[in-house]
Amino acid sequence: MVMVERIDGGPRSAVVVGAGVVGLSTAWFLQERGVEVTVVDRASVAAGASWGNAGWIAPGLAIPLNEPSSLRHVPRSLLSRTAPLHVPPTADPQLWAFLARFAANCRRSSWTRAVEANLPLNEECVETFDVLTANGVDAVTADAPITAAFRTPRRAQGLLRELRALADAGQPVDHVELDGDRLREHVPLASPALTAGVRVDRQRHVDPGAFVEALARSVVARGATIRLLEVVDVRAGARGVTVHPRTGRAVTADVAVVATGAWLTPLARRWGVRVPVRAGRGYSFTVPVDRPVPGPIYLPDVRVACTPYRDGLRVAGTMEFRDPDAPGSHARLEAVVASARPLLDGVRWDERRDVWVGPRPVTPDGRALIGAVRLPGVYVAGGHGMWGLAHGPVTGRLLAEQITTGKQPGALRPFDPLR
């Protein structure tokens, strides 16, 4: 175990529930502060959204989902099973209550509040990845711009407006507008249907599954144990906090961190957390390509993200509000292919592999839940939406600071889970 002087009065031990990027990052930074850690997960390392996402470390595109224009997509989502945003017809009252809260937050003031909340996370997220990879996390992060491609210059104006809004909120983003010829220089896969682009500079990407697995190996090498347990309850007592599994032996520690992504709410609502987390499920797959892929490609018109991945192209898309454990929908997968096929040439769509569906944890106000709850010694971390990979490590660093010092960092105040 890494021997670091423990903060006086801080916890000596912690159990982290969730072996995704958020939970493992919190475990790593707790170890950095001298805390002995046990990690538990119901499945395995990177079993949720941490494996199959697009792998972007893209603070310049960490745009909250509750942008006011999002409401324009809702009617279509209710009528079409192939729309980029899909809300299946259901009698689930909790889903409709969540969507009503989401709609209420799709206004400029709420969106700006989420943008401003994310500013410290965006400012530190790349540097925090560097801290990890320089200190035992054996994974590679690649520097590359992300190029957004559009059918017409007019359609590019939506993203340009969002980038201007980010700048107005305090986060200027380096970007360059591209005509069709310059677009094809940056995106050799671009078909003739794409005539305009926006290159967002100073971004990164990573193989997300490989990164999280490397993070897990580092946590174990530093003295942690990872156990497979399905947690059904967390209780506080005189000996600290005890995590109770469905079967097997309970785990007791001074503190507990619950970082279970889209599965957070069933436990968190018992502890005074009133902001719900729902599963915004995404799909991804990998396809071989016949042209170079210098960097990530964003297709905003169809909400598809593409990333260089293991000598091919990882294609990720859709936002589907369904139960996190529901089986994947072949129709949703085919919708991603159908929407992207006319826009990219040199892609062998019929040879896809590594097909994946996973739940991204979404909150109705565009802000994650990070911090202490009403149950003494218990903390939660989740609800990062589509930016859990990018914001996971910096979340872990800030939360470890709060846990070991007892003081909430200013950067975490907007994410207070008891708001």
How far is Cα 406 from Cα 108, in angstroms, rounded to an integer?
34
Going by pLDDT thresholds of 50, 70 and 90, the confidence category of residue 47 is: confident
What is the pLDDT, as a whole number, of residue 369?
98
pLDDT in tens, 303-337: 999 999 999 999 999 999 999 999 999 999 999 99
CB-based contacts of 84-87 (< 8 A; 24+ apart in sequence): 84/302, 84/303, 84/304, 84/317, 84/318, 84/319, 84/339, 85/303, 85/318, 85/319, 86/318, 86/319, 86/320, 86/321, 86/332, 87/321
Question: Residue 298 is inside which H or E element, if any?
Answer: strand 297-299
Query: Of 406, 321, 413, 324, nearest to 367 (Cα)?
Result: 413
Pick the CATH number of 13-415 from 3.90.550.10, 3.50.50.60, 3.30.565.10, 3.40.50.920: 3.50.50.60
Is residue 3 predicted with pLDDT exceeding 50? Answer: no
What is the pLDDT, as a whole number, of residue 4?
41
pLDDT in tens, 77-98: 555 666 777 777 776 899 999 9
Q: Could you count the other beta carbons within 10 Å of the beta carbon of residue 224?
A: 23
CA separation (Å) from 69 to 56, 73, 74, 162, 394? 23, 8, 10, 11, 29
Going by pLDDT thresholds of 50, 70 and 90, the confidence category of residue 406 is: very high
pLDDT in tens, 95-142: 999 999 999 999 999 999 999 999 999 999 999 999 999 999 999 999
Is residue 2 predicted with pLDDT exceeding 50? Answer: no
CA separation (Å) from 158 to 163, 173, 182, 192, 264? 9, 15, 20, 21, 33
Amino acid letter for position 317: G
Sign of CA dihedral 324, 330, 336, 339: negative
Which residues are paired to 86 by β-bridges?
320
The predicted model scores a pTM of 0.95
What is the pLDDT, as a whole number, of residue 91?
66
pLDDT in tens, 337-363: 999 999 999 999 999 999 999 999 999
What is the pLDDT, as a whole number, of residue 395?
98
